[in-house]
Structure 1
């Protein structure tokens, strides 16, 4: 018995040393320790679950944080994959696309991207209540997967990458400001043509 316990402990140590983690266990280590999170649907399920996941991972979520994650849009769609005759049973595919922006200091845009998840469920025309429940469960699972994917996406950012994105955004903003100023000066220095006085008849 003791040998078996030692073997299990030894295997667990080896797996953890290799970076292996069971799905849904462990903590998500993020370089973003402070984050301003907002969404078009401020009280929607996706943003609420994401906020809870961030807080449980040690991220301080508050307005005015140095970095801002904005869930700009969430589109859901449904299509029929297959259709089976008189019983009106068929396979349906649900898709959800979540678009988001990440903004840095000075509210400068650092990145905009999107995540997409899909789920297939069976619709049974003879069991509408059961089919509706299966569709609702599929949507719930898709939201959970979206949140997990967003956490993984955020986990990929290192402090160096965030600094680089911030520097790139600042350089772009300066270049755009300089171009705008040059265009305004050129317009101001361009002589304006005076109206032509036409001879009176």
Structure 2
């Protein structure tokens, strides 16, 4: 009897495992990508977001270093929680949103691309009689939104190659050098009486 129970339990466990792997389920871990981008620096004025973004990049195989040739500058991170409906029967709906604006730059701060803005939002029905639970739910949803934004950022970063970034850097440097003579002649022209 014990042998039969163990066999059935083992068979059930194997069946469930095979079903989970067949549907694409996998545990969190390193993000498997074919990117050749190996080193980045991260900067910005939101230390919490920067910390989570840096950890996610390290887990995905990107070394975070101050000496990196490329920089992700997180320009703005906004969190927004606002009530969308009037409370009825003690319940109301809230919109919880998070957005981030970042720009990929050279290590000297020269922009390679236009800033990218990503936004995620969710709606949550709240009970006005349980404010502590509402705050906890908001914190959980904001954490999930942050993770979604970071995952999207990682996918975009991993889609770039070192060669593409080098080409963009050359274009940005050439554009910057073309602006220099124009700016110098403008300054000299303003100095003459």
| TM-score of the aligned structures, taking structure 2 as reference length | 0.78
Is 1:180 the counterpart of 2:168? The answer is: no
Is 1:53 the counterpart of 2:56? The answer is: yes
Conservation of the 8 A alpha-carbon contact between 2:70 and 2:104: yes
Q: Which residue of 2 aligns with 1:199?
A: none
Conservation of the 8 A alpha-carbon contact between 1:95 and 1:117: yes
Conservation of the 8 A alpha-carbon contact between 1:29 and 1:57: no
Q: Which residue of 2 aligns with 1:198?
A: none
Deviation at residue 101 of structure 1 after TM alignment: 1.9
After TM superposition, the structure 1 = structure 2 runs for residues 102-181 of structure 1, keeping only pairs within 5 Å, are 102-111=104-113, 112-181=115-184
What is the root-mean-square deviation in Å for CA atoms of aligned residues? 2.7
Ranges in structure 1 where 5+ consecutive residues have no aligned partner: 193-201
Ranges in structure 2 where 5+ consecutive residues have no aligned partner: 1-10
SS in 1 for 2:37: coil
After TM superposition, the structure 1 = structure 2 runs for residues 36-115 of structure 1, keeping only pairs within 5 Å, are 36-42=41-47, 44=48, 46-87=49-90, 89-111=91-113, 112-115=115-118
Task: Mark the CA change 1:23 to 1:119 in structure 2 (over 3 Å): closer, same or farther.
Answer: farther
Which has the higher mean CA deviation after the structures are superposed, 93-102 or 176-185?
176-185
State the aligned residue count: 175
Task: Mark the CA change 1:22 to 1:178 in structure 2 (over 3 Å): closer, same or farther.
Answer: farther
Conservation of the 8 A alpha-carbon contact between 2:75 and 2:103: yes
SS in 2 for 1:110: coil
Larger Cα-atom Rg: 1
Deviation at residue 22 of structure 1 after TM alignment: 5.7
Aligned-partner Cα distance in 2 for 1:51–1:129: 31
* CA displacement 1:167-199 (0-9 Å, x = unmatched): 2211111011121123244456x5x3xxxxxxx
Aligned-partner Cα distance in 2 for 1:148–1:58: 14
| TM-score of the aligned structures, taking structure 1 as reference length | 0.75
